[in-house]
C-alpha cells in the first residue's frame, strides 16, 4: 500500500492579474472563478507531467519497498527524513540527477519518506497554465465550478508539456 500527504509550500505560478491580462479582462466579478481555474489548471498540468510545478512538501508512506524506490513528483529539492513506523531513521543513498531514486541496503516495510520538491517554474509551465486556464474560462463547459474539476486537458497544452513529462520505460 502506498499513501501520500501533500502540503503546498510554494506560491502560484500564474497570478490572477496575469491571467486577466492574458484574457483581456478588466472587471473583477469573475476573480473567484479565475483563481479556481488557475489552481485546477496547475494541478492538472502537474498530474500530466508527473512533476510538481509548485513547490511542495510530500510525506510518502510505503508498506513495502524494494531495495530501490523512485520518489513521485520530483524534482526533489531535499529529502527531509526516511524513517520506519517507530520513527527510527533508515539509512539510504540518493541516486540520480534529480535526487528521485533512493537505495536501501535491503527491502523495507512501513517506510515514511518526507521530502521537498523544487517545482518547475519556467516559460513552458507558465504558458501551459495560462493556455489551459484560458481554454477553461472561454469554454466553461469543460470546467465544473462546483466540483472544481476539469473534463480533459486541451491538446495544445499537452503539446507544450510533453517535453517535461516523466516517461517510464
* Per-residue cell: 138: 472561454
The pLDDT-based confidence of 146 (bands split at 50, 70, 90) is low
Residue 144 scores a pLDDT above 70: no
The pLDDT mean for the chain works out to 88
Phi, psi of 155 (to 5 degrees): -60, -40
What Rg do the C-alpha atoms of the chain give, in angstroms?
A: 18
Rounded to whole angstroms, the Cα distance separating 128 from 38 reads 11
Which regions of the chain does DSSP assign to beta strands (E)?
Answer: 2-8, 56-64, 68-70, 76-83, 93-95, 101-103, 109-117, 143-144, 149-150
The pLDDT-based confidence of 169 (bands split at 50, 70, 90) is very low
pLDDT given at position 15: 95
H/E stretch holding 17 = helix 16-23
Mean pLDDT within 122-141: 89
How far from each other are the two terminal CA atoms of the chain, in whole angstroms? 22
Q: Is 53 exposed, middle or buried (0-12, 13-18, 19+ CB in 10 A)?
A: buried
* Per-residue cell: 134: 484560458
pTM flag (> 0.85): no
Residue 149 scores a pLDDT above 70: no
pLDDT tens string 66-123 = 999 999 998 999 999 999 999 999 999 999 888 899 999 999 999 999 999 999 999 9
pLDDT given at position 54: 95
pLDDT given at position 114: 97
pLDDT given at position 42: 93
- CA dist list (Å): 106 to 91, 93, 121: 10, 12, 36
Amino acid at each position: 500500500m502506498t499513501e501520500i500527504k501533500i502540503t503546498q509550500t510554494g506560491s502560484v505560478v500564474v497570478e490572477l492579474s496575469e491571467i486577466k491580462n492574458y484574457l483581456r479582462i478588466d472587471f473583477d466579478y469573475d476573480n473567484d472563478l479565475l483563481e479556481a481555474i488557475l489552481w485546477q489548471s496547475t494541478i492538472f498540468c502537474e498530474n500530466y507531467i508527473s512533476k510538481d510545478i509548485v513547490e511542495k512538501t510530500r510525506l510518502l508512506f510505503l508498506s513495502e519497498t524494494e531495495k530501490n524506490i523512485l520518489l513521485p513528483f520530483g524534482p526533489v529539492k531535499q529529502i527531509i527524513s526516511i524513517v520506519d513506523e517507530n520513527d527510527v531513521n533508515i539509512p539510504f543513498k540518493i541516486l540520480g540527477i534529480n535526487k528521485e531514486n533512493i537505495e536501501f541496503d535491503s527491502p523495507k516495510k512501513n517506510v515514511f519518506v518526507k521530502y521537498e520538491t523544487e517545482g518547475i517554474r519556467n516559460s513552458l509551465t507558465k504558458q501551459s497554465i495560462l493556455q489551459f486556464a484560458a481554454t477553461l474560462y472561454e469554454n466553461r463547459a469543460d470546467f465544473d465550478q462546483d466540483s472544481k474539476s476539469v473534463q480533459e486537458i486541451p491538446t495544445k497544452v499537452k503539446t507544450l508539456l510533453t517535453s517535461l513529462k516523466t516517461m517510464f520505460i
